[in-house]
Amino acid sequence: PYTPLVGLLNGLALSSGMLLDEGLDNVFARHARIAEGVRAAVAAWGLSPCAAAPELYSNSVTAIRTPNGFDAARIVSHASEAYGMAFGAGLGEVAGKVFRIGHLGMLTDAMALSGLAVAEMCMADLGLDIRLGSGVAAAQAVYRHGGEQMKAAAD
């Protein structure tokens, strides 16, 4: 009764092939490793994730609490305007209290590091007490050997 969305079907075929080529276990491990690096950066910044306990952490996104009285939406808008980087805003009860960094998709360790560096620059630009490089270094410690461990597990 209608013309199928050929572009969407082609995209689905391509993305499904990419997932299967990498292997679902490797995809899940990559997302977990990137999430672990982001959480290490958050700790190095002296901030905390929105999730109240480690068993509640997500490998899809980390919501990062900003200090009381600071509007976290400023980080999201500054990242977009000054650096061309997209972070998520807090929603509902945490609107203005957190910003979000996602870990899914074709994200690599190196891409995650660039996002963490931008987050640091934004927070420093906006007057938060963040030492540039602290979160990036913490994530590098996680990522540096993560790829080797992933390859070894696949062999």
Q: What is the pLDDT of residue 153?
A: 47
The backbone torsions φ and ψ at residue 62, rounded to the nearest 5 degrees and listed phi first, read -120, 125
User: Encoding tokens for residue 117?
Assistant: 């560096």
Give the dihedral sign, CA 147/151/152/154: positive
Q: What is the pLDDT of residue 147?
A: 53
Predicted structure pTM score:
0.88
Q: Do the bridges between strand 61-65 and strand 98-102 make them parallel or antiparallel, or are there none, so unpaired?
A: antiparallel
Q: What is the pLDDT of residue 3?
A: 80
* DSSP notation for 34-68: HHHHHHHHHHHTT-EESSSSGGG--SSEEEEEPPT
User: Encoding tokens for residue 128?
Assistant: 């938060």
> What are the distances in angstroms from CA 3 to CA 7, 11, 13, 50?
11, 16, 18, 44
| Whole-angstrom distance, CA of residue 153 vs CA of residue 45 | 31
| Whole-angstrom distance, CA of residue 143 vs CA of residue 124 | 24
Q: What is the pLDDT of residue 148?
A: 58
Helix, coil or strand: residue 76: helix
Q: What is the pLDDT of residue 121?
A: 98
Residues 6+ apart with CB under 8 A from 151: none
Residues 6+ apart with CB under 8 A from 33: 109, 142, 143, 146, 150
Q: Across the 155 residues of the chain, what is the mean pLDDT of every consecutive 10-residue run? A: 84 94 95 97 97 95 97 98 97 96 94 98 97 97 73 49
